Structure 1
Amino acid sequence: MDTAGVPNFIRTLAIIILCYYLFKFAMRLLAPYLIQKVAKKAEEHIKKQFEQQQQNHQSTPENKEEIPKKDKKVVGDYIDYEEVD
């Protein structure tokens, strides 16, 4: 059974540092590709939403008469209370 010693610690530290730099290098190569892919998906999503919005506006008639809305709701009778001493 190996005990934790200085050589094992140095080897582990070297592996961690190597993995860090390999990850950093890979991200430098892959990041532009990933960003383009995400931007393209976002653009497609925005176009789809815009087209749906345009279809909704075109499907509603423009000469639609507006129905006047009631300004006040009738909630009941108004009762004025007075304090009695």
Structure 2
Amino acid sequence: MQTASFSGFIKAIFYMIAFYYIFKFLARLFLPLLVKKAVEKAGENFQQHQQQQYQRAQQTTWKKTSSNDEIIIDTANSKNPRETKKIGDYVDYEEID
């Protein structure tokens, strides 16, 4: 069985402080590089996402007629046009005292 000594305790404290300062120094060197890479990767993902959205928008057919300058939009999902719900007629009334 080993017993703890004061010099062993001081060594442990010294190693912890040394590890802290070495880690802090290395973080200042390499953390900006890691953040830069992460930002570049996020930018690439954003650009790819935008490109995919643009391609999906191009899949819907946009036609422009030259005679009337009328824009006709044909979409693949326009099989059932939306119907507006009519709840009832508006009735104007007066209060009777």
TM range (shorter): 0.7 to 0.9
TM-score computed with the length of structure 2 as normaliser: 0.66
Q: Does 1:3 align with 2:8?
A: no
Identity across matched positions, percent? 36
Q: Which runs of 4+ in 1 moved over 3 A?
A: none
Offset at 1:61? 1.6
Structure number having the greater strand percentage: 2
Paired residues for 1:38-53 under 5 Å = 38-53=38-53
Structure 1 gaps of 5+ residues are 73-85
Structure 2 CA distance for aligned equivalents of residues 41 and 68 of structure 1: 41
Give the CA RMSD over aligned residues.
1.7
2:82 corresponding residue in structure 1 = 69
CA distances 1:30-74 after superposition (whole Å, capped 9, x unpaired) = 1111111001100000000000000000011232275432446xx
Counting matched residue pairs gives 72
**Secondary structure, counterpart of 1:45 in structure 2:** helix
Offset at 1:2? 3.6
Q: Does 1:28 align with 2:28?
A: yes
CA distances 1:6-26 after superposition (whole Å, capped 9, x unpaired) = 110000010011000000000
